[in-house]
Structure 1
Amino acid sequence: MLDEHDIAEALTLLAQNGDPVSIYPSSSTNVVLGRIKSVHPELPHFTFELNEGEFIPPGEATFVAWLRSSKMQFNLAYDNWTPVPDQPTIIPLDFPLRCLVLNRRSSTRLETPLGIYYMASFVLNGKPYELQLYDFSAGGVGMRAPPRDTVGLHVGRKLQRVRLELGPDTVMIADLEVRLSRTFRSFLLGEQVQIGCQFVNLSPAMQEELTRVLQELNASRQR
């Protein structure tokens, strides 16, 4: 995993779930425990909270956590892991340059092709929304739009009867739940909000149709 937005999404999920993170310092045999406290909404920074009494010795350290059904790990190195003033367990850190993900999720994920804009459209509290899809899988979809077009789409929000364009001739109607909301800045598009959603109550027939579409798109890209 090399993309900054993918890394931000993974770290944000770990922070939201409060999942434990084990740290393996290269200079010590002791395992340091803690969790990701927060992720900056725009910049590639996050804060890490150590368990009470823990500390990270100088040098390189490997961070390991379980992200859903996958094992995620990355390396960071600091001469001095400096905490926030008056908060000895809170350490501000930069994103790693890359993350290693083992046993990746079983749902095949595809990014929408360049130059082709698939859309998700729905109505929430009487207001129509239309957001661009940037990836989709058997487990959910990723959408993005300017902040003014994502008002009200907070984590936990249920979206009913969302119209999804999953190909030139394929449209699905599905219920979604917002699982991730993150602001970032795009060089071409300016400030954007990344919205990650999970399918809710997907019928067996719809699951089969989605799997078929993913297989066809994946096959077409390998030709």
Structure 2
Amino acid sequence: MNDTNVMLEVSSLPDDSQFLLHNKLEIVRTLRGLISHGEMVSSFFNEGRELLLTSVLHVDPDAETVLLDYGSNDVLNQHILQAQKIIFVTSLDKVKVQWVSDAIAKDTWEGRDAFRIALPNQMLRLQRREYFRLTTPVVNPLKCKIPTRQGLSVEVALADISAGGVGVVIAQPLGVGFEMGAAFPGCRVELPGIGTAEFTLEIRSTWEITMKNGSKSLRAGCQFVDMRPGMQALIQRYIIKLERERIANASDRG
């Protein structure tokens, strides 16, 4: 599973801001809801290469701190304490909740070890799973075949995938107009171990990126249009498969 380098991220679509909580009382209420519901929290760190499962134990709005359950794996505990960025992902009443911390420390709660983080100043709360994206494998990346108006097809690598769309990287001009609003019906992606997903892609955003070797590539954020339920189920199954592999990978390294 070493080629499955996945990481949960917040969508970069322009309308994400409407799902961000900034109100301290709402953030505290959400965190306390996680406590009362006993929800598990996935914490991703070291650029998504490691994962530790935890839960919220206590929220102190006056001290602006949050206490989290200490992990059972001592190696992962030490790694997360040294991490400079931790992405916390969970759900509450079927609504996805995500926030980021740039530091975590060891503390105690009711006589046992715990993690302490600062109360987040913003939190992402989303009704729809598709706003959470998983970066796809770097080795043997997923490829999307996009039909052209000339009856041919071009192939692009997927950078990430979600239930609502994909991000693609275009390393060189393909003779296809990847401009905002362009739609491409009949696209296909082979999902290893799952099946073939077919859909229409609509370009929602494009921007230029610089690769490690200095070359320029085009990155495009694409949305699924009129996705059939069966196809969406395939993609959800693939996302779940990646998440499970990610957890197993983290456990193996621990």
- Taking structure 1 as the reference length, the TM-score comes to 0.54
Q: Find 1:201's aligned residue among 226, 235, 240.
A: 226
**Deviation of 1:194 (Å):** 0.5
Alpha carbons 2:179, 2:206 under 8 Å: kept: yes
Q: % of aligned pairs identical?
A: 25
What secondary structure sits across from 2:129 in the alignment?
coil
Query: Partner residue of 2:124?
Result: 102
What secondary structure sits across from 1:192 in the alignment?
strand
- Taking structure 2 as the reference length, the TM-score comes to 0.48
Unaligned runs of 5+ in 2: 1-8, 19-94, 100-120, 249-254
Q: Distance in 2 between matches of 1:169 and 1:189?
A: 35
Alpha carbons 2:11, 2:133 under 8 Å: kept: no
Q: Report the aligned-residue RMSD.
A: 3.6
What secondary structure sits across from 2:241 in the alignment?
helix
Query: Partner residue of 2:186?
Result: 161
Alignment of 1:73-92 (within 5 A): none
Query: Partner residue of 2:209?
Result: 184
Paired residues, what number? 144
Query: Partner residue of 1:26?
Result: none
**Deviation of 1:208 (Å):** 1.6
Q: Distance in 2 between matches of 1:101 and 1:133?
A: 27
**Deviation of 1:140 (Å):** 0.4
Deviations 1:130-150 (A, max 9, x none): 110011000101101124126
**Deviation of 1:167 (Å):** 2.6
In structure 2, do the counterparts of structure 1 residues 193 and 203 end up closer, same or farther at CA, with 3 Å as the change threshold?
same
In structure 2, do the counterparts of structure 1 residues 7 and 204 end up closer, same or farther at CA, with 3 Å as the change threshold?
closer
Higher-helix-fraction structure: 2
Q: Distance in 2 between matches of 1:174 and 1:189?
A: 33
Alpha carbons 1:157, 1:177 under 8 Å: kept: yes
Alpha carbons 2:194, 2:237 under 8 Å: kept: no
What secondary structure sits across from 1:148 in the alignment?
coil
Q: What is the letter of the counterpart of residue 162 of structure 2?
A: S
Higher relative contact order (Cα pairs below 8 Å, separated by 6+ residues): 2
In structure 2, do the counterparts of structure 1 residues 150 and 134 end up closer, same or farther at CA, with 3 Å as the change threshold?
farther
